[in-house]
Chain A
Amino acid sequence: MSSTAPALSGPAPELIYKRRIRPIQMARELWHARPLISALTEREFRARYKQTKMGYAWAFFTPLIMMVVLAVFFGRAANVQAGGFPYAVFLYVGMLPWTFFQNSLNKGGVSIISNMSLVNKVYCPREVFPLSAIAGAVIDLGIAATILVGLFAGYRVMPEAESVWVPVLMLIQVAFTIGVTVLLSALVVYLRDLRQVLPMILQFAIFAVPVMVGLDDLVAKSWQPVASALNPMAPVIDGYRRTILFGEPPRLGLLAIASVSSLVYLIGGYLVFKKLETGFADVA
């Protein structure tokens, strides 16, 4: 009894399985998976700090150390137009949303392959893995935001009234973050090289967003619309700084471009993910 059997000619063409994307069903399924997302987020967060001596305090110290290092080096080296604010405050208002994006992508990008033991054994909507990585980054963001409060109190800075724009900016940022994270998490499954490259790219990408310097110091005015379309994070970070620190409204033209672009990233990334997820368990 050999393990090979006489090969049949193949399935009838009309039987071949086709991936259909039904947005309503997809959304309903995801809605029911909320407890799963929160359970996975909690799991990720607990597991990360288990067996560490300092435990959850790391979520606080990591961004603090990063901020201090950057502030010391760039505050001295580059002559930055900080709009009259202490450089640490200027820097951290940009660093906070960027770190959130970076964390989401770092953890979310590998979320499918690092959860392969679940992916190829238990059914659930696959996007819960990147989404719970993003949710984990939200928790980190919350902890890291206490540093911002401390900086504001220490330097006697008050957020301006234009901060009402912040939820809009956040919405654009979250849409973009989900789109890119979900897309990458699916691509990494098939092209594992990305796993090696991704952290490196994210390290250097900080030079492509107005974190250490303002937007005008980073990109020439005429190129700003193109930059906003490719990288919606640029006008969003600029927007946070203008509204919270400078008390000016965000640049609405750039923001409009960024919102359209984020939506394209979100829908495109999600569709690619849904197409690719049918093969996840095959290449595990």
Chain B
Amino acid sequence: MPKGSIEATHVWKRFRADPVQARLRAQIGALGQRLKGERRRGWRWALQDVDFHVNPGESVGLVGINGSGKSTLLKILTQVMYPYAGRVDVRGRIGALIEVRAGIHPELTGRENIHLYGTLLGLARKDVASRFDEIVEFAQLSDAVDRQVKFYSSGMQMRLGFGVAAFLQPDVLLVDEVLAVGDTSFQQRCIDRMRDVLAEGTTLVFVSHDLAAVEGVCERAVWLHGGLTREDGPAREVLNSYRQALEQVAELELTDGPVRPVKASVSGVDGQVPRSQEPCEIELVLQSDMARSAGVCIGVSEGTPSPIFLLRRDVPMPAEGLVEVRCHIDRLPLPRGRYFLWAGVFRGTNNIMAWHPVAHFDVTGMDLDAGPPGLVRQSPVHVAASWEIAEV
């Protein structure tokens, strides 16, 4: 097997089921049960029969809701944890950033930590020294490199950790949800750096809840759910089905409050599927319990609560009954894809109906133009434009 490849087959991992309460009484009770020969508390599976194969130089995103086994899988790949069953083979030097402060010792200075972490990755001192300046520059720590790390801000600690892991030329780079701490400009630089590392031939496994970042960096994605592989394939497809699964859950959780949605839909011309750059109509029927005037907000998003665009209108609510809200859009500025309709009703800053997804819909029509390589996120807004090109 060449360096940089990951072969994990039939990986199982289990943890002890919820531990006995730390209270002395509970402990004594548990001890008594054990003495009577009753069965010990059981196990819960964290990973069940997961296959994970990555070729050298490939970039794979790992997505899934909290507790789906992403971090456990990464820990098994780094050999920090051992599987209960299965075979795991990772070739080459592994650079892992499992958590923000992985391998960082708070009492030592930034300089000492860089050297220590390099040694942990199995590098000679001189190899670390040769890349030292690059790391410091990337992490923007030139003023703070001789300061103890415990006096760093959490963003600085993260930059240090990421810089060390990403610049010491590992064959496999494992990155677990670390971007959340950095500011936006640093996030973009991390993603650029990951792409550079990929270009140098390093294998990348990237765990993140920032789906746009995953899509920007990874060609392939694996979706874990409840410790099982739910989907494995091209990043775009896997992420789309993951987003939809997330939304469909949320749609079911309809609120009960003074104002509730009864019906929500988006339709195009003559009730057909909406098309890019053509008229469309959003229909929302609300049930109200009390007469008042309130602001109705309607937003369209790709999945997350932050909408691509938002529409708002004050609507008088009936004392007891239904109100129908229709919103007409002349030219729908969305490219082809699946979208979600979010709605909320507010009075001042008060929530009368919480901001939540009420429906999903598909748009047919144009695709977006391809962006420059390395661009993390392209907003899905289709702008009608005409071009004129002439030599002058």
Contacts and interface: CB of A to CB of B under 8 A. Distances in A.
Interface of A: 1-5, 7-8, 10-12, 15-17, 19, 32, 35-36, 39-40, 43, 46-47, 50, 117-124, 278-279, 281-282
Interface in B347-362: none
Contact of B84 (A4, A11, A40): A11
B125 A3 contact: no
A119 B16 CA distance: 19
Interface of B: 10, 12, 15-16, 45, 48-49, 65-68, 75, 78-87, 94, 96, 98-99, 101-103, 105, 107-108, 112, 115-116, 119-120, 122, 124-125, 148, 225-228, 245-246, 248-249
Nearest to B78: A123
Contacts of A123: 78-80, 94, 96
B112 A43 contact: yes
22 contacts: A3-B66, A5-B225, A5-B228, A8-B49, A11-B85, A16-B85, A17-B82, A17-B85, A35-B119, A35-B125, A43-B116, A50-B107, A118-B102, A118-B120, A121-B75, A122-B98, A122-B102, A123-B79, A124-B120, A281-B75, A281-B80, A282-B81
Contact of B119 (A1, A8, A17, A36): A36
A194 B245 CA distance: 48
A69 B68 CA distance: 58
A204 to B, nearest CB: 26
A46 B81 contact: no
Contact of B82 (A36, A47, A278): A278
Contacts of B120: 36, 118, 122, 124
Contacts of A278: 82
A47 B48 contact: no
B270 to A, nearest CB: 35
A122 B80 contact: yes
A1 B245 contact: yes
A237 B226 CA distance: 58
Contacts of A39: 115-116, 119
A15 B226 contact: no
A31 B16 CA distance: 34
B50 to A, nearest CB: 11
A5 B226 contact: yes
B85 A117 contact: no
B105 A121 contact: no
A124 to B, nearest CB: 6
Given A11-B49, A121-B99, A123-B78, 13 more contacts: A1-B65, A1-B248, A3-B65, A5-B227, A17-B82, A17-B84, A17-B85, A35-B125, A39-B119, A50-B148, A123-B79, A279-B82, A281-B75
Contacts of B245: 1
A232 B1 CA distance: 48
Contact of A120 (B75, B86, B94, B249): B75
6 closest A-B pairs by beta carbon, nearest first, are A5-B226, A11-B85, A47-B107, A121-B102, A278-B82, A15-B85
Residue from the set B45, B65, B101, B125 with the largest chain A CB neighbour count within 10 Å:
B45
Contacts of A40: 116
Nearest to B248: A1
Nearest to B113: A43
Nearest to A118: B103
Nearest to B82: A278
Nearest to A49: B107
A119 B78 CA distance: 11
Contact of B122 (A12, A32, A282): A32
A35 B225 contact: no
A213 to B, nearest CB: 40
Given A8-B48, A39-B115, A121-B103, A15 B10 contact: yes
A119 B75 CA distance: 11
A1 B107 contact: no
A46 B112 contact: yes
A51 to B, nearest CB: 8
Contacts of B102: 117-118, 121-122
Contacts of B66: 3
Nearest to A120: B80
Contacts of B225: 1, 5
A119 B105 CA distance: 13
A117 B10 contact: no
Contacts of A120: 75, 80-81, 98
Nearest to A1: B249
B129 to A, nearest CB: 13
A67 B15 CA distance: 48
A124 B93 CA distance: 11
